[in-house]
Amino acid sequence: MKVLVIGGGAREHALCRSLSQDSDVTELHCAPGNAGIAQLAAVHPVDQLDGAAVTALARRLGAELVVVGPEAPLVAGVSDAVRAAGIPVFGPSGAAAQLEGSKAFAKDVMAGAGVPTARSYVCTTEAEVAEALDAFGAPYVVKDDGLAAGKGVVVTSDRAEAAAHAASCERVVIEEYLDGPEVSLFAITDGTTVLPLVPAQDFKRALDDDQGPNTGGMGAYSPLPWAPEGLVQEVLETVLQPTVDELRRRGTPFSGLLYAGLALTSRGTRVIEFNARFGDPETQVVLARLRTPLAGVLLASAQGTLGTLEPLRWDEGAAVTVVIASEGYPAAPRTGDPIEGLAEAEADGTAFVLHAGTKAGENGEVLSAGGRVLSVTAVGADLKEAREKAYRGVAAISLKGSHHRTDIAAKAAG
Ligand code: AMP
C-alpha cells in the first residue's frame, strides 16, 4: 500500500513511524513533513489547506491511502477533496470535523446524542457573557467557538480576565467548571463501528506540578493505572458510539479519529472537548503500544470495513513521552538553534525521538523551528521503566535554552 500522510508535526512523525514498521506499506510519503519524518518517508512540499493540491499530489504518487493528521486541513475540507477523487482517506469530512472546529456544534451534537458534558451557554454579546459567567460562578471556563490551536480556552477565577477573553472572541462558549482528572481516549471509526484505543493522559501546563501557562501538551503516558476499571467500555457506550451515531443521523457521518477529552468528575465522566484527529502528544504513547499494524486499521476506517477487523492488539507494558520545547515557549518561542545528541538519545534502542518543530540546516544539521521541538518516547515493562528510559533520552539531547517537564507520569508511576 502506498500511503501519503498530510502534516508535519510529532503526531505525523509518530504516524509515519508506525506506518514505516507495517510490512503492508510499500511506499511512505509525507507532506510537508519535517526533518525527522524525512528519515522515514519521502517528503513533499504542499499547502496542507489546499484540497486540490493535496489531491493532485496523492494522484501523482499513486497513493492508495491518504492520512490527514492536523485539524486545520480537516476543517478546511481536504478529506472531502481527496475522497471525491476516489482515493481512500483517513480523516473526517469538513462538515464532520466541525465537531472540533466549532465548540457550539459539538455541544449541539452532544445534546442530541445525550452525551454527558459541562452545561454551557453560547454567547455573542457582552450581556449574554455577563449572565453566563454569573450563572456558573468561579472558576470560569471561557472557550473561543472556533479553532484556536489549543489557545482558545481560558480557565480562571478572575472574572475580569474571563470577561476580557470572551470580549476578544466573536462567539464564545461559557461553561460549568469540571473538576477531576482528565483522560484522553481516542477511537477509530468508519462512521458506524467504533474501535476505542487505549486511554492516555497528557500534561497541558508548561511547568512541573501543573504550573505555568497552557501549552499544546508537554508530555503523556499510557496506561493509566489509576483509571477506574471499565472506563473504556463506559466511554464507548455513553460517549463515543452515541456521538458517531448522532453524526451519522445528521447526515454528517464521522470517519477517522474521534478524540474524547474527558474529565472524571465526582458526578461522573464528562466530555471536556472532542477533537477530530489524533492528539499530540498522546499519539506518541498510544501508537507506541499498538501492536496491530496501523495501515490496515486506517484503511478500514477509510473504507467503512472496521467491523470486519480482528480486535486491536496492545503492548501490555507502558509508554511515556516527554516534549522538549524551545526557549520562550509557549509565549514567544525562539527558533533556528542547532539540536545535538539526537543519535545518542536513540543509541541504546530504548527511546525514540519524534520531531515536532524542526528543519534541516544547510549542512544537514537539525535546527529548531517551532515551540514544541521534539518528543522523546520510550516503552517499558511499567511506567517507571518507560519514564526512566524516556528521560535518559531527553538528557542526551541539547538545545540552547530549551525546557521540558521533569514530572511526566511521575505520580502515576508511583
Ligand atoms: P479544550 O481545548 O476544550 O480541551 O480545553 C483545554 C483545557 O482547558 C482542558 O484540557 C482542560 O484542562 C481545561 N478545560 C476545558 N474545559 C473545562 C471545564 N469545563 N472545566 C475545567 N477545565 C476545563
153 in contact with ligand 1, CB cutoff 6 A: yes
φ/ψ of residue 262, rounded to 5: -120, 150
pTM over 0.85: yes
What does each of the 414 residues of the chain score in pLDDT, given as a tens digit? 999 999 999 999 999 999 999 999 999 999 999 989 999 999 999 999 999 999 999 999 999 999 999 999 999 999 999 999 999 999 999 999 999 999 889 999 999 999 999 999 999 999 999 999 999 999 999 998 877 655 688 899 999 999 999 998 888 999 999 999 999 999 999 999 999 999 999 999 999 999 998 898 999 999 999 999 999 999 999 999 999 999 999 999 999 999 999 999 999 999 999 999 999 999 999 999 999 999 999 999 999 999 999 999 999 999 999 999 999 999 999 999 999 999 999 998 889 999 999 998 998 899 999 999 999 999 999 999 999 999 999 999 999 999 999 999 999 998
Q: Where are the alpha helices (DSSP H) in 85-235?
A: 98-101, 103-113, 126-136, 159-167, 231-235
How many A from CA of 141 to the centre of ligand 1?
A: 7
Pick the closest to residue 1 from 297, 230, 278, 211 (CA basis): 297
Which residue do the cell numbers 515557549 mark? 329
The C-alpha cell at 281 is: 502528544
Residue among 145, 204, 262, 273 whose CB has most ligand 1 atoms within 8 A, to mutate: 273
How many A from CA of 351 to the centre of ligand 1?
A: 30
Alpha carbon nearest to ligand 1 atom 6, residue: 153
Residue among 120, 141, 144, 155 whose CB has most ligand 1 atoms within 8 A, to mutate: 155
How many A from CA of 71 to the centre of ligand 1?
A: 18
Chain centre to alpha carbon of residue 351: 21
Distance CA 395, CA 398 (A): 8
Q: What is the dihedral of CA 62, 68, 69, 72, to 10 degrees?
A: 130
User: Three-state SS for 383?
Assistant: helix
190 in contact with ligand 1, CB cutoff 6 A: no
282 in contact with ligand 1, CB cutoff 6 A: no
Chain centre to alpha carbon of residue 336: 25
CB of 151 closer than 8 Å to CB of 214: yes
**How is 90-114 classified by DSSP, letter by letter?**
ES--TTTTHHHH-HHHHHHHHHHHT
Which residue do the cell numbers 545518542 mark? 344
Distance CA 329, CA 99 (A): 28
Distance CA 120, CA 112 (A): 14
> For residue 261, which atom of ligand 1 is closest to its CA?
4
CB atoms within 10 A of CB 253: 19
